[in-house]
Amino acid sequence: MHLFFRRLFQTLKDFLFPPVCSACNSLLPYPLKYVCPACEINFVASYTAHGVVIPKMQYLKENYNLQEAFALYPFSKDGSIEKMLYALKYRGQKSVGVYFGKKLAAYLAKNLPPFDGLIGVPLHSKRKNLRGYNQVDIMGQTVEELLSIPYYPSVLKRVVSTPPLSQTTRDRRTVLANAFAGCFDALPPGGHFLLMDDIFTTGATLEACLNVLSSSSHYRFSIATIAYRI
């Protein structure tokens, strides 16, 4: 009965507020929920899967002895991916996180051996409270649900609030040094974990996280982001 009412509520909601494309805001034909076919057709999928080496990611892969390092899509200014990630982070469209979580799950299932767990890059509690959620958690929880790989939202903690990249004039690495702390209690030793974030820009955020994670020699790590800034 509970499910019946939930579905009824969803149908009513879709009728009163029909879902729009998170990239171009056009009305979506049923049963689409996230993005219209015209926007989605522009996505260049599996950027790194086509053998394209992203130099800054390669640097992290070599320096932190990572098993895998990849991004799903190139991210160009004013492209559909940028608009969707903007909608996810700044317009409260949490469903975009589910959409990208599904894309990441599909990529992982097809291309890589199973991971023992997923670790999200955290937001500082101040920013998370303001936004109401961490967009990376939504993606991680979607992958967890689809592939039955545990998602660990609290292994890393952001202990220093840093300004967004666009507002930083100082070197990003200096700004992020000591921004994260780690708690490994929940992680099974010897496992291989995927550290995930939404956008790869300078690589400084993931590097700061890897500095914390690599302080323990009990684990292997890989990194993945939804988009890579070109």
Query: Considering the rule CB under 5 A, would residue 24 count as an interface residue with Zn ion?
Result: yes
CB 57 within 8 A of CB 200: yes
Nearby residues of 95 by Cβ (< 8 Å), 6 or more positions away? 19, 22, 33, 34
- Asked if 23 touches Zn ion (CB under 5 A), the answer is yes
CB of 30 to Zn ion, least distance (A): 15
Which burial class, exposed, middle or buried, applies to 206 when counting CB atoms under 10 A from its CB (0-12, 13-18, 19+)? Answer: buried
From residue 12, alpha-carbon distances to 8, 29, 53, 149 in Å are: 6, 16, 47, 33
Question: CB neighbours (10 Å) of residue 147?
Answer: 15
A 10 A CB-CB count for 135 gives: 26
Asked whether position 155 contacts Zn ion by CB under 5 A, the answer is no
Considering the complex, state which of residue 82 and residue 145 has its C-beta at the smaller distance from Zn ion: 82
Out of 36, 54, 149, 176, name the contact with Zn ion by CB under 5 A: 36
> One symbol per residue from 75 to 114: x for binding Zn ion (CB under 5 A), - otherwise; what is it?
----------------------------------------
| Residue 196 Cβ vs Zn ion, minimum distance, rounded to whole Å | 25
> How many residues bind to Zn ion according to rule CB under 5 A?
5
According to CB under 5 A, which one of 39, 108, 156, 224 is a site residue for Zn ion?
A: 39
Give CA–CA dist 161/137, Å, rounded: 18
Nearer to Zn ion, 45 or 109 (CB): 45
| Residues of the shown chain interacting with Zn ion in the complex, contacts defined by CB under 5 A | 21, 23-24, 36, 39
